Amino acid sequence: MKICIFGAGAIGGYLAVELALAGHEVSVVARGAHLEAIRRNGLKLLIGGREKVARPAASDDPADFGHQEFVICALKAHQSHESAAQFKPLLGPDTAMVTAMNGIPWWYFYKTGGSFDGRHLESVDPGGRQWKLIGPERAIGCVVDPACEVIAPGVIEHHEFNRFIIGEPDGSHSQRVVALNQALTAANFDAPIRNAIRWNVWLKLWGNVCFNPISALTHASLDRITAEPRLRALCKSMMHEARAVTGALGIDIPEEMIERRLAAAGSVVGHKMSMLQDLERGRSMEIDALVTAVQELGRMTDVPTATIDVVLALVQECGRQAGLYSRDFVPPAL
C-alpha cells in the first residue's frame, strides 16, 4: 500500500516507521535538519526499550512521490491550512486524506446533515482553502492518542499509547477505512473504527480547549493544572462550556466524562502541553483549532462561552507578544 506521511514529526515519524517496517511503501514529507537526518541515517524510533529504523523515501517536495492510496496529515491544523496546495501531487482519484491532528478538523461539517451541513469553519480553514483544494470527500477522521517526541533530528521517542481512532465523516464502514484499519493494526497500532468520530474528536478537545491555553499562560505542567484548585475550577468551567456547544451540535457526551478527563490528565506527571512547548521553543502556536473553533461553534449555535472567550483572548495576546500567533479572526458576537 502506498502511504505518504505529510509531516514526519513526532506522531508522523512514529506512524512512518511502523508502517514501513510492516511492509508498506511509505514516503515522508519533512524539512530541514530532520529531513537530512532521515535521508542520511533513516528514521529511528525508540520504543519499549528498542530501536527501530526504517528508511522511507523522504523529501520536502511532495511531487517526488506521486499519487498515494492514503495521505496521513500529521501537521498542526494551521500548518495543514498553509500547506493545502502542496498536497495536490499526492492526490489521485481515490486517494484518502487521514487527518491525524488535534482539534476541530477542517472537514467537520461534511455530511453532518442539518442546517450547518457543508459549511467550513473560518477559524480552522480560512476561506475554505482545504475544503476547496483537498476536498472533504477525501477525509477520514483520526483522533491521536500516542505521546511521542522528536528528541533529535531523525529520532522519534515513543512515550505511551498506540491508539489512533479512525472514522468516516458519514459514519460508514467503507472499504477504505477498513483497509486503513487493517494496515494500522498490522503495524502494531490499535486503530478502532468509530461510526461517530466527531464524538471522539470532542472528548479529546474537552481537555485541549483548557489544558493547552492554561499551560501556555501559566507554564504549569498538566498535573499541576488539574491539582491546583483554582486552575482545576477554570478547566471545569471551560469544559462545561465546551460540553454545551457539543450538545448544541447534537453530540451527547455524559457530564461525568469531565471528571474522568481531569483525573486522566492529572495522572500524567510533569507533562508540558504542546502549546507551552511551542511557546518555549519559538514555534507557531496551535490556538485556533483547539480554542478559537469552540468559540466560533458557540456563536453558530447561540451557546455562550464566556470563560473560553477570556482565556482565548489572553492566550492569543500571549502568542502575539511572542511573535508566534498573528490571526485576528473574531467570530460574530451572540
Three-state helix/strand/coil letters over 82-135: HCHHHHHHHEEEEEEEEEECCCCCCCCCCCCCCCCCCCCCCCCCHHHHHHHHCC
For the sheet with 91-100, list strands across it. Answer: 57-59, 25-29, 2-6, 68-73, 91-100, 139-144, 164-167
The pLDDT tens digits of the residues spanning 105-143 come to 999 999 998 899 999 999 999 999 999 999 999 999 999
91 within a domain of the structure (yes/no): yes
For residues 185 and 51, state if they share a domain.
yes
| Domain edge (last residue) among 176, 195, 214 | 195
Question: Cα–Cα distance between 79 and 210 in angstroms, integer?
Answer: 21
pLDDT at 267: 86
Measured over the CA atoms of residue 319, residue 320, residue 323 and residue 325, the dihedral's sign is: positive
Question: Cα–Cα distance between 212 and 270 in angstroms, integer?
Answer: 14
334 within a domain of the structure (yes/no): no
30 within a domain of the structure (yes/no): yes
| Domain edge (last residue) among 195, 219, 247 | 195
332 within a domain of the structure (yes/no): no
pLDDT at 205: 97
Written as one letter, the residue type at 46 is L
Q: List the catalytic residue out of 2, 76, 111, 204.
A: 204
The boundaries of the domain holding residue 136 are: 2-195
pLDDT at 331: 83
- pLDDT category of residue 249 using cuts at 50, 70 and 90: very high
Q: Is the distance from CB of 311 to CB of 213 less than 8 angstroms? A: yes
pLDDT at 18: 98
pLDDT at 79: 95
Can 272 be counted among the known catalytic residues? no
pLDDT at 160: 87
If one counts every other C-beta atom within 10 angstroms of the C-beta of residue 24, the result is 19
If you average pLDDT over residues 224-238, what whole number do you get? 97
Q: Which residue has the cell 478559537?
A: 292
The pLDDT tens digits of the residues spanning 78-106 come to 999 999 999 999 999 999 999 999 999 99
For residues 181 and 240, state if they share a domain.
no
68 within a domain of the structure (yes/no): yes
pLDDT at 308: 98
170 within a domain of the structure (yes/no): yes
pLDDT at 268: 80
The count of structural domains within the chain is 2
Q: Which residue intervals of the chain are DSSP H helices?
A: 10-21, 32-41, 77-82, 129-133, 175-186, 197-218, 222-227, 229-248, 257-266, 274-281, 293-300, 306-321
DSSP per residue, 218-236:
H---HHHHHHSHHHHHHHH
pLDDT at 290: 97
141 within a domain of the structure (yes/no): yes
Q: What is the mean pLDDT of the chain?
A: 96
For residues 189 and 210, state if they share a domain.
no
Q: Which residue has the cell 491550512?
A: 81
For residues 33 and 124, state if they share a domain.
yes
pLDDT at 330: 78
The pLDDT tens digits of the residues spanning 139-187 come to 999 999 998 989 999 999 998 899 999 999 999 999 999 999 999 999 9
For residues 67 and 126, state if they share a domain.
yes
For residues 246 and 148, state if they share a domain.
no
pLDDT at 270: 87
326 within a domain of the structure (yes/no): no
For residues 87 and 191, state if they share a domain.
yes
pLDDT at 266: 87
For residues 147 and 105, state if they share a domain.
yes
Q: Name the percent of the chain lying above pLDDT 90.
A: 92
For residues 190 and 277, state if they share a domain.
no
Measured over the CA atoms of residue 85, residue 163, residue 216 and residue 107, the dihedral's sign is: positive
Which domain CATH number covers 189? 3.40.50.720
- pLDDT category of residue 21 using cuts at 50, 70 and 90: very high
Q: Which residue has the cell 455524559?
A: 254
pLDDT at 192: 98
Residue 148 in grid coordinates:
511521542
For residues 159 and 31, state if they share a domain.
yes
For residues 185 and 218, state if they share a domain.
no
Asked whether the predicted pLDDT for residue 333 surpasses 80, the reply is no
Q: HSE of 326 in the Cβ direction (CA atoms, 13 Å)?
A: 5
| Domain edge (last residue) among 195, 220, 255 | 195
For residues 58 and 111, state if they share a domain.
yes
> Would strands 155-160 and 147-152 be described as parallel, antiparallel, or unpaired?
antiparallel
